[in-house]
Amino acid sequence: MKSIKFFRILFLFFIFFKTTAQEFKLGKVSVAELEQKVHPKDSSAAAAILYKKGKARVEYDTNDGFILVTQVDTRIKIYKKGGYDWANQGVVYYVGSNDSREKVDFSDVNTYNLVNGKIEKTKLKSDGVFNEEVNKYRSRKKITMPNVKEGSVLEFSYTVRSPNIGMMREWAFQTGIPVNYSEYATYIPEYFTFNVRQKGYIFPKVTSERNNKSIMINSKERSEGIGPTTTTFYTDKVDYMETETTYIAQDLPAMKEESYVNNIDNYTSSLEQELSMVKYPNSPMETFSTDWNSVAKTIYEYSDFGPELNKTGYFENDLKVLLAGVTKPEEKILIIFNHVKSNVKWNKYYGYSCEKGVRKAYQEKSGNVAEINLMLTAMLRYAGLTANPVLVSTRSNGIALFPNRTAFNYVIGAVETPEGNILLDATDNFSVPNVLPTRALNWYGRLIRKDGSSDEVALMPKKPSSDIVFMNYSVDADGKITGKAKRQCSDYNAMIFRGNISEQKEEAYLEKLENDNNKIEISEYSRANEKELLLPVSETYSFTGSNLCEKIGDKIYVSPMLFFADEKNPFNQETREYPVDFGFPFLDKYNITIKIPDGFEIETLPVPAAMNMEGDLGAFKFNIAASENTLQMSVSHQINEAIFSTEQYEMLKEYYKTMIAKESEKIVLKKI
């Protein structure tokens, strides 16, 4: 539950701005804006958005009914050549089907420069506008601005016309460059209700008002009968209320990439809108999604989701054979899981909706995530288990923070047992029950039952995945090392290790292992449980190395963990903007036996040490002891949480610093 708490904390730290709605109009570029040499708050910025103003309006069109028109006006300042990319702009739009085909138009595209103290305006002509047909579903309208130099101010406006009012776009207040002013307004007739979601660290100021509006609906009626046909025209005036909501944020710093970040979009200040209810006069109310339960129910009722779970005919015969005589639930789970994994291959497409359907996927032996995991769930149900689909948002899709249908883009299966849920994803070759591919490891999923009820399911693993090394080696009088090592990986580490070794031939793997580990020479290499996915996987090898110790004068300096020592602190940033995400908790353990050469004695030994992070977030233990010419050593490094908050960053950084300093201490051997 720690992770959810953490996100609540974020919400408490909103930054509210004192905002005064500013009058910005395209075309009114000032000399001061053109003269500015650097951004006043971020001198390293190559460009900045001086303002960006969006209006999303649901309006009535006599031909198409209610449509969504979004207009965005932007003014950008270019400070340095590195910001020239901002002079190329593109808007992607949907062209897949006739009834939801979108239209995009750019207008008022101008570049402003200061020439001898005077403002010079260069207008974009048609030779700077391009339409790229990306594929049969999407197109992209692009512009490239004329006459751009360091110091230029660029302005452009675009309008997206969409016949589907459910397609309101996400509004990002923040981006890779500073944003001085960002305003977004929605105009929604009373017939529609949208859910609004805000995320990120900076929250806009919201104001709202209600306006009286009316629409004219024209209709005609033809009367046929005896005599000439007459046509009567009617015009109906319909009055309604429209809600105008304005969001304003100012002085937003540039987003910066960091390592160990799950997905930077999770932290970008932005706004999402989703249609949740439609209520026309004299018609029943139609709801779409207002909370997680109704989102789940809505998705379950989609024809390419729930009904796909009810189909069983296509696999029944196969399963009867496979499950004959099997009674234990855990055995059934494994048999079915392996059957799906080995027979239906993932085509690398995400989604919780089936494309060709489970039956066809089973016949063709390939399918998308939904086809594979819904088929899996259906088979588990057929075998008498309590199995349900779990909706997931992948890491690349961002954390599913707010209830809406687009929050999810993936689905896995779960079996309810007295010991808790067993999570299953059959799209990955090396995934096993409760070890999901990293892409699906993203906070919480939503489990949906047959009756449409749903529950939150924690996806982040609690159990540490281990990486255990046994090594014994001897040092000879010249500092050359000969030894044996065994490395054993469990759970997530095992999945990653298996993924790794499957990608390369053994010889290439060994060559890399040798080169990565100080050019040791490896022999007698073997692996155990490579294919036994439920067991930890291990590799064993003998090695020799002449670069592993240093012989200085008549002393030998041994770095006792050899190539297993962590040498670099991955957390070397001075400050941290976003949480650190390890993906899963882990335990690295080393048991090492060292034999020192004849004729040498130990001059100095590292001192045993131990440290714990606050709140049991992690622990490091380092033990070493000598008896005659043999040294025994045990080291463990354990991280108990997958995610560390920015407040915990300093502690994590210090922990790594201390650990690395300890691991790099040397044993000094002296000639007797």
Partner 1 sequence: MKIPCYALLFFLFTLVSSAQKGTYLISTIKDSLKENANSVVRLDQMDIVIASQRSMNIKTQRVVSVLNEKGLNDIDAYQHYDKTTAIKNIEAVVYDAFGNEIKKIKRKDFRDQSAVSGSTLFSDSRVVYLDYTPISYPFTIVYTSETETSNTAFIPQWYFLGGYYLSIEKCVLNVAFPNDLGFKKKEFQFSGYNIKKTVDTDTRLSYEAVNISAQKAEDLSPSSRDLFPRIMMGLERFHLEGVDGAATNWTDFGKWYSDKILAGTTDLPESTKLKIKEVVGNEKDPVKKAKLVYDFVQKKSRYVSIQVGIGGWKPMLASDVDRLGYGDCKALSNYTKALLQVVDVPSYNTVLYGDRYKFDIQSDFVSMQGNHMILAIPTGNNYTFLECTSQDDPFGYQGTFTDDRDVLVVKPEGGEIIRTKIYEDRGNIQRDKAVYTIDENGHFSGSISILSEGSVYSKKMQLEHLQPTEKEAHYKEYWDNINNLKLGKVTFTNDKENIRFTEDINVTAANYGAISANKMIFVIDAFNQYTGSVKRIRNRKNPFQIQRGYLDTDEIEINLPTGFSIEFLPSNFELKNKFGEYKTEIIKSENNKLIYKRSMFLNKGKYSNKEYDEYRLFMEQVSRNDNAKIILTKN
**Site residues, partner 1 (CB under 8 A):** 44, 46, 80-82, 84, 87-88, 122, 127-128, 130, 132-136, 142, 144, 146-150, 256-257, 345-348, 364-366, 502-505, 507-508, 511, 514-515, 519, 547, 550, 552-553, 557, 567-569, 572-574, 604, 606, 657, 660-661, 664-666, 668
Q: How long is the chain?
A: 672
Q: Which residue's CB is nearer to partner 1, number 331 or number 567?
A: 567
Backbone torsions φ then ψ of 225, nearest 5 degrees: 175, -140
Q: Which residue's CB is nearer to partner 1, number 384 or number 570?
A: 570
Q: How far is the CB of 401 from partner 1 (least distance, A)?
A: 26
Backbone torsions φ then ψ of 307, nearest 5 degrees: -60, -30
Q: How far is the CB of 508 from partner 1 (least distance, A)?
A: 8
Dist CA 322 CA 76 (whole Å): 64
Dist CA 187 CA 395 (whole Å): 32
Q: How far is the CB of 534 from partner 1 (least distance, A)?
A: 22
Q: How far is the CB of 346 from partner 1 (least distance, A)?
A: 7
Q: Which residue's CB is nearer to partner 1, number 81 or number 279?
A: 81
Dist CA 526 CA 511 (whole Å): 14
Question: Going along 366-419, which residue ranges are E strands?
Answer: 366-367, 387-392, 410-417
How many CA atoms within 13 Å lie on the side-chain side of 364? 14
For residues 560 and 545, the answer to whether their CB atoms sit within 8 Å is: no
Q: Tell me the two tokens of residue 159.
A: 């309008």
Which residues lie closer than 8 Å to 471 by C-beta, 6 or more apart?
A: 483, 484, 485, 486, 562, 564, 590, 591, 592, 593
Q: Which residue's CB is nearer to partner 1, number 128 or number 351?
A: 128
Q: How far is the CB of 503 from partner 1 (least distance, A)?
A: 7
For residues 516 and 504, the answer to whether their CB atoms sit within 8 Å is: no
Q: Which residue's CB is nearer to partner 1, number 132 or number 616?
A: 132
Q: How far is the CB of 558 from partner 1 (least distance, A)?
A: 12
User: Would you give the end-to-end CA distance of the chain in angstroms?
Assistant: 58
Dist CA 520 CA 481 (whole Å): 9
Q: Which residue's CB is nearer to partner 1, number 195 or number 366?
A: 366
Q: How far is the CB of 123 from partner 1 (least distance, A)?
A: 10
Amino acid at 142: K
- The conformation of residue 75, written as its DSSP 8-state character, comes to E
For residues 386 and 421, the answer to whether their CB atoms sit within 8 Å is: no
Q: How far is the CB of 559 from partner 1 (least distance, A)?
A: 10
Q: Which residue's CB is nearer to partner 1, number 529 or number 546?
A: 546
Dist CA 176 CA 71 (whole Å): 22
Dist CA 509 CA 541 (whole Å): 13
Q: Which residue's CB is nearer to partner 1, number 524 or number 574?
A: 574
Q: Which residue's CB is nearer to partner 1, number 273 or number 427?
A: 427
Question: Going along 518-562, which residue ranges are E strands?
Answer: 521-528, 537-545, 549-552, 555-558
Q: Which residue's CB is nearer to partner 1, number 108 or number 511?
A: 511
Using DSSP bridges, classify how beta strands 345-346 and 410-417 pair: parallel, antiparallel or unpaired.
unpaired
Q: Which residue's CB is nearer to partner 1, number 30 or number 604?
A: 604
Reduce the DSSP state of residue 337 to 3 states and report it: helix
Backbone torsions φ then ψ of 475, nearest 5 degrees: -105, 135
Hunting for tokens 């502690």 — which residue is that? 651
Q: Which residue's CB is nearer to partner 1, number 214 or number 515?
A: 515
**C-alpha 590 chain-centroid distance:** 33
Using DSSP bridges, classify how beta strands 465-475 and 586-595 pair: parallel, antiparallel or unpaired.
parallel
Q: Which residue's CB is nearer to partner 1, number 54 or number 606?
A: 606
Q: How far is the CB of 169 from partner 1 (least distance, A)?
A: 22
Residue 581, Cβ density class (10 Å: 0-12 exposed, 13-18 middle, ≥19 buried): buried
Q: How far is the CB of 35 from partner 1 (least distance, A)?
A: 17
Q: How far is the CB of 280 from partner 1 (least distance, A)?
A: 40
Q: Which residue's CB is nearer to partner 1, number 184 or number 430?
A: 430
**C-alpha 395 chain-centroid distance:** 2
Q: How far is the CB of 39 from partner 1 (least distance, A)?
A: 12
Q: How far is the CB of 180 from partner 1 (least distance, A)?
A: 18
Dist CA 643 CA 586 (whole Å): 12
Q: How far is the CB of 572 from partner 1 (least distance, A)?
A: 5
CA nearest neighbour of 457 among 469, 449, 465, 467 = 449
